Amino acid sequence: MSGEIPFRVGHSFDVHAFSDDPARALVLGGVTFPGERGLVGHSDADVVAHACIDALLGAAGMGDIGMMFPDADPAMAGADSVELLRRASAAARGNGWRLANIACTVVLDRPRLIDVKDQMEANLGAAAGAPVTVSGRRTEGVGSLGRGEGVVAWAVALVAR
């Protein structure tokens, strides 16, 4: 065996609690859901975009979202997380990594994602510069997620030198 294998995989998890603030909008994969409860977060709390960013940064060995986009930075207040994904992807490219794809699973009971899945994938894929797939899963009423306390997302990313 000789030479370094040119691929790296990254995996991530993110969770945001639902907010009681009626002014917060629910944003998932860059899609806003009118009339749905928003999530708590410093940025737009787009848990799907955050999972994609962390998987990508992990694969590229570039830390995590909190290091690249600190909560303490006032510029991050209400930030568009799909734009943060675009910036993270550009930074990874700048470090010599090509993103192959990201696959994300998001768990929530409502709203249903079926009608907006294509739009979420288009938003995220355009920002990432590579295919992004999003699978929605329901909780079947199990646990804290089944009680509607928040939304979680996992993602994996593959990058190549």
Tell the smallest beta-carbon distance from residue 49 to Zn ion (Å). Answer: 8
Nearer to Zn ion, 42 or 98 (CB): 42
Tell the smallest beta-carbon distance from residue 50 to Zn ion (Å). Answer: 3
Q: Which amino acid is at 148?
A: G
Binding mask 46-85 for Zn ion (x = CB under 5 A): ----x-----------------------------------
Residue 4 is encoded by which pair of tokens?
């370094």
Tell the smallest beta-carbon distance from residue 130 to Zn ion (Å). Answer: 21
Nearer to Zn ion, 19 or 98 (CB): 19
Q: Which amino acid is at 30?
A: G
Tell the smallest beta-carbon distance from residue 31 to Zn ion (Å). Answer: 16
Contacts of residues 44-47 at CB distance under 8 Å and 24 or more positions apart, as own/partner, are 44/78, 44/79, 44/80, 44/81, 45/16, 45/19, 45/81, 46/81, 46/82, 47/14, 47/15, 47/16, 47/106, 47/151, 47/152, 47/153
Site for Zn ion in 2-41 (CB under 5 A): 14
Q: Which residues bind Zn ion (CB under 5 A)?
A: 14, 50
